[in-house]
């Protein structure tokens, strides 16, 4: 089964990369974009023995840095 | 400083490990042990452990994230818990935060660009194991070379660090957007220091300055006869 983990910066944490992307969009003539936040998508292929609790553990121990990031786990139906 | 037992850990992608070893030998007179990231154990009875700069594991996932979970780090965390002094410079600082030995995180520089130059620093606490040699509050100069040196912690943590004198070094100029200009922090017990500037690259005049030497002298002198 496929699992998607979305890692994003917490609210209030300045995102220099997002800011640079916004400036680039502006430079390309795309107006109306007031903010950009860049995150990370991690896709895992797991078997049925991997519980939600284990996935949660993976996120906390490695996939996300809980000081600055949030994560969201999504199981993708086959 | 005869008989001092120091170790430098090398991760895949470390590139300041040799500089660190040369600095430790220059100050202590003893060549440090060289330890590989995949080793499960450190040499016995270590007096000092250094995590060098570089780009361990190609900065995959986050700077320092993979190295912090490598086998040797379990031994480093255990040694730090026993009170063995641990110094992490640049990528070493990133590894220490990722391993949970120091609070906060090091994010992409606020100006996006890699910063590689000498910067002015002030010493935030001249009573720590690593900084007692900087008494007098003078400005010092050390090189930085990093992309992810923008120190972040929540306000409560920052207040706590400042209140306890755990800000070891501050930037005296704009460098990377670090919260409260923090360049280096100590753990609660004072035996773990992480810093972005490179003291090991300022040991003798031939390197353009020697402001880093006092850090090693402070830390290693404190260990003699300990």
- A32-72 pLDDT, tens digit per residue, is 999 999 999 999 999 999 999 999 999 999 999 999 999 99
B128: containing domain = 6-221
Q: pLDDT at position B226, please?
A: 44
Min distance A32 CA to chain B CA atoms (Å): 23
- B89-110 pLDDT, tens digit per residue, is 999 999 999 999 999 999 999 9
Q: How many CB pairs under 8 A join A and B?
A: 35
Two structure tokens written together for B216:
């090693």
- B16-52 pLDDT, tens digit per residue, is 999 999 999 999 999 999 999 999 999 999 999 999 9
Min distance B213 CA to chain A CA atoms (Å): 32
B19 at interface of A, judged by CB pairs closer than 8 A = no
- B55-99 pLDDT, tens digit per residue, is 999 999 999 999 999 999 999 999 999 999 999 999 999 999 999
Decide if B144 contacts B202 (C-beta within 8 A). no
Give φ, ψ of B74 to 5 degrees: -60, -40
Mean pLDDT taken over chain B: 95
What CATH number did the domain enclosing A40 receive?
A: 3.30.1280.10
Number of domains comprising chain A: 1
Number of domains comprising chain B: 1
Q: pLDDT at position A77, please?
A: 83
What is the 8-class DSSP label of residue A77? Answer: P
Chain center to CA of B224: 20
Give catalytic residues of B, as residue numbers: 90, 198, 200
ipTM: 0.88
Cβ of B112 within 8 Å of Cβ of A14? The answer is: no
Name the burial class of residue A64, with classes exposed (0-12), middle (13-18) and buried (19+) by CB atoms within 10 angstroms of its CB.
buried
Non-local (6+) Cβ contacts of B87 within 8 A are B48, B49, B50, B51, B130, B192, B193, B194, B195, B215, B219
Please give the average per-residue pLDDT across B185-197, as a whole number: 98
Instruction: Give the 3-state DSSP-derived string for B63-111, with helices as H, strands as E and coil as C.
Output: CCHHHHCCHHHHHHHHHHHCCCCEEEECHHHHHHHHCCCCCCEEECCCC
pLDDT at B225 over 60: no
What CATH number did the domain enclosing B12 receive?
A: 3.40.50.880
Cβ of A16 within 8 Å of Cβ of B111? The answer is: yes
Q: Which of B196, B179, B154, B112 is nearest to A68 (CA)?
A: B154
B109 at interface of A, judged by CB pairs closer than 8 A = yes
Confidence of residue B3 (pLDDT cuts 50, 70, 90): confident
């Amino acid at each position: 089964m496929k699992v998607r983990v979305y890692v994003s910066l917490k609210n209030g944490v300045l995102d220099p990369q997002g800011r640079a992307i916004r400036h680039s969009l502006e430079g390309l003539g795309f107006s109306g974009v007031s903010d950009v936040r860049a995150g990370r998508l991690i896709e895992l292929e797991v078997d049925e023995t991997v519980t939600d609790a284990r996935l949660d553990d993976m996120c906390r121990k490695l996939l996300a840095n809980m000081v600055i990031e949030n994560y969201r786990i999504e199981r993708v139906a086959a | 400083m005869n008989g001092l037992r120091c170790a430098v850990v090398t991760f895949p992608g470390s590139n300041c490990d040799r500089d660190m070893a040369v600095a430790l030998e220059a100050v202590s007179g003893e060549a440090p042990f060289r330890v590989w990231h995949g080793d499960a154990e450190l040499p016995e009875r270590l007096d000092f452990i250094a995590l060098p700069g570089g780009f361990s594991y190609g900065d995959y996932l986050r700077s320092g994230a993979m190295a912090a979970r490598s086998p040797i780090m379990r031994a480093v965390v255990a040694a730090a818990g026993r009170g063995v002094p641990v110094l992490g410079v640049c990528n070493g600082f990133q590894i220490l935060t990722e391993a949970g030995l120091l609070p906060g995180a090091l994010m992409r520089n606020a100006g996006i660009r890699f910063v590689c130059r000498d910067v002015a620093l002030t010493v935030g606490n001249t009573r720590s194991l690593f900084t007692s040699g900087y008494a007098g509050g003078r400005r010092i100069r050390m090189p930085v070379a990093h992309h992810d040196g923008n120190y972040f912690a929540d306000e409560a943590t920052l207040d706590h660090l400042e209140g306890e004198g755990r800000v070891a070094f501050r930037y005296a100029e704009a460098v990377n957007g670090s919260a409260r200009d923090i360049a280096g922090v100590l753990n609660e017990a004072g035996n773990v220091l992480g810093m972005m500037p490179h003291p090991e690259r300022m040991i003798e005049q031939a390197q353009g300055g020697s402001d880093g030497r006092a850090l090693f002298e402070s830390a290693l002198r404190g260990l003699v006869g300990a």
